[in-house]
Amino acid sequence: DKYHVGQRISITLDIKPRNLSGTLMAVHGRQDYLILQLVDGRVEFGVDNGAGPITASFIPTDKHYLCDGEFHTIQVVKSNNFVTLSVDGEFSEPGIGVGGVSSTDTKDPLYIGGLPEESFAKRGVLTTEQFAGCMRYVELDSKPQSLAQARVFGQVTLNTCPTI
């Protein structure tokens, strides 16, 4: 399944991570990409429209902030060459890219919770860790997504969140 990001996308996720690093969502094209990932407790959102990376980072005061056993809401918006990121309603510094290049031309599948090994070397990937934890809500462009309809790879359990 091919996923095209285009000029604008908004994403909302509710997550309860068990690890400090892991890919939350990613889609690549030949050169362009959109990737949302946890990297050592930070939330990193990166987009490339073909003119270089545009990034926004949420860096909590405690790197274990997201691994507290509670759900956290992550919201990102990519609009043309502008990206925003918020965690639990707290916005980070927005990212602004080169003007005039506004479409993120992706064609690969949209991966949620991890990447296949052949994607580890792709642009923008800061962690090869798969997301470990729970995801209870995924929304793309204000439309809730049913993960029950998704193709599942790896150790994924749907419709439950074990407390470990």
Distances (CA, A) of 159 to 34, 135, 144, 148, 162: 26, 9, 15, 8, 10
Sequence ranges of the domains in the chain: 8-145
Question: Taking the model in full, what pTM does it have?
Answer: 0.91
Is residue 13 left, alpha or beta, with left meaning phi > 0 and alpha meaning psi from -120 to 50?
beta
| Residue 80 dihedral angles phi and psi, to the nearest 5° | 55, -110
Between residues 155 and 139, the one the model is more confident about: 139
Q: What are phi and psi of 33, to 5 degrees?
A: -160, 165
SS3 label, residue 149: helix
Q: Identify the band that residue 47 occupies on the pLDDT scale cut at 50, 70 and 90.
A: very high
pLDDT (tens digit per residue) in 61-119: 999 999 999 999 999 999 999 999 999 999 999 999 999 999 999 999 999 998 888 77
pLDDT band at 158 (very low <50, low <70, confident <90, very high): low
Q: Is the pLDDT reported for residue 164 higher than 60?
A: no
| CATH node for 8-145 | 2.60.120.200
